[in-house]
Structure 1
Amino acid sequence: MIKEALKYIVGLGDANLHLIEGDSYSDKPLHRIEPYMPKAVELNVSTLTGLIDYIMSETDEMDSKMIVEVTSPTTVKLYSRLDINRDREYLMTVNALLPHFYFDSFMDQESFCIALQSKFIANADREDLLRFAGTVEAGTVALYGDDGVTQKATIKTGIASKGEALIPNPVKLKPYRTFLEVEQPESEFIFRMREGRGIECAIYEADGGAWKIEAMQNIKNYLAEHLKNNPKFTVIA
């Protein structure tokens, strides 16, 4: 307590400047008082269209140079260049609203088929996966064994007929993972089934995250095209 009290008393005095061998020193810590430069309250929207509409409307006065940064497949930020204090003004953040799918997790057969139809764009592999997952017979997934790469199961091939089939792998799918205004990246997934409380299905991402780079490039291209007549906006990803 005494040490802190003495430091406080010493700090009450004026700062003294000392010149030692050509260098200037102060005997007290100094804190720069930043000039007051008010910043706008950041806006939040959920679509790229909202961002473009805001820019095109010229509703608010902006710096002569602005940056549109694609920070992730689901986030874009609009902010100014550095000001005199080396700070930036953030005007808008765009966060995509997307349906959620539980990758890398098993779910029951019906929920899986519903999610495939509602949260993935239709393509050939999606239809094959739906056809397989919807017709596989309970109790047969583990019957034929599993070598870690391929699985077999019995599927219904007609009203009263059945057949043995390999579970399709890998599959190329296009889930909704980025802004709906741009092309959804297609990537490879590993499809697995197991016997739990009935048949359970799961898909695992198998592209090492390469889809994120493609999605961010798609967003950048989309924004660059719509802002090509506004050179004050630089789009980066």
Structure 2
Amino acid sequence: MIQKALQYLVGLGEAKEHTIHGDTYSDKELYRVDKLLRMAAPIEMNILTSLVDYIKAHIDTMAEKMIIQVVSPEEVRLFSQLNEKRCRETIVKVEALIPSFRYEHFIDHESFCISVQAKFMDDPATDKALLLKFAGTVEQGSVAEYGDDGVTQKATVRQGIASKTDAVVPNPVKLRPYRTFTEVVQPASDFIFRMKEDRGITCALFEADGGAWKNAAMKNIKEYLEFELEGYQDQFIVIS
């Protein structure tokens, strides 16, 4: 307690400089005090159209050069130039509203089918219809035989007392889920589909493109913004 009290009293004194061997030292710890930086709180948006409308409306004063950064497939930010303190002001933050889907987790059969129908785009060039046909055919206790050779999956499904039919789905399957802003094209990518019967039928999708879809989505966002802001490219630089 006495030591802390003495340290406190010493700290109350005025800081003094000392020159030793040509170097300048202070006998007290110093803290830099900056004037209050008047930074605006970023405007939060959810769609790219709002950002474009905000820029074109000229509501706020902008610097001669502004930066629009595509941070991720789900986030875009509008920054100012560096100020005299080498700081940037975040003017706008756009976060996409993406429907959630539990990749790499086995979920019950019915929830899986509903999620694929609602959260993946209908595209004849993808395997969505084939996947739903396969997953929708199988019910608990109806699988007579099930095969998986790592490339295709086949379930022999009972249709009646005697008749059976085969449902086959290739792997990987190409799908186009909603994973980025709705204003841009949703990237298609490969997924590994797996199904198992353990206390009920469960299904799962595993991403199989190494995350390449993220680069494609960010490229689509950049191209969309550059197109919509044509004529503003001297002031607003889009990077990703």
TM-score by length of 1: 0.90
- Structure 1: any 5+ residue segments left out of the alignment? none
Q: Is the 8 A contact 1:141 1:194 kept in 2?
A: no
Q: In the TM superposition, what is the alpha-carbon distance from 1:197 to its structure 2 partner?
A: 3.9
Greater alpha carbon shift after TM alignment, 218-227 vs 48-57: 218-227
Amino acid at match of 2:206: Y
Q: Which deviations, in whole Å up to 9, do the C-alpha atoms of 1:113-170 show, x marking residues without a partner? A: 2221211111231111112222235446573444455432025799x95322433211
RMSD of the TM alignment (CA)?
Answer: 2.3
Q: In the TM superposition, what is the alpha-carbon distance from 1:37 to its structure 2 partner?
A: 2.7
TM-score by length of 2: 0.89
Give the alignment partner of residue 165 of structure 2, picking from 158, 163, 166: 163
Q: Is the 8 A contact 2:194 2:205 kept in 1?
A: yes
Match of 1:234 in 2: 237
Amino acid at match of 2:208: A
Q: Is the 8 A contact 2:151 2:170 kept in 1?
A: no
Mapped to 2, the partners of 1:173 and 1:204 lie a distance apart of: 11
Q: Is the 8 A contact 1:46 1:95 kept in 2?
A: yes
Give the alignment partner of residue 179 of structure 2, picking from 169, 177, 180: 177
Mapped to 2, the partners of 1:12 and 1:186 lie a distance apart of: 66
Aligned pair 1:62/2:65, yes or no?
no
Q: Which deviations, in whole Å up to 9, do the C-alpha atoms of 1:47-101 show, x marking residues without a partner? A: 0011111111111112222111111110111121221112111111111012111
- Structure 2: any 5+ residue segments left out of the alignment? none
Mapped to 2, the partners of 1:217 and 1:78 lie a distance apart of: 17
Greater alpha carbon shift after TM alignment, 160-169 vs 202-211: 160-169
Mapped to 1, the partners of 2:231 and 2:33 lie a distance apart of: 40
Structure 1 residues 96 and 70, CA gap change in structure 2 (3 angstroms)? same
Mapped to 1, the partners of 2:30 and 2:168 lie a distance apart of: 73
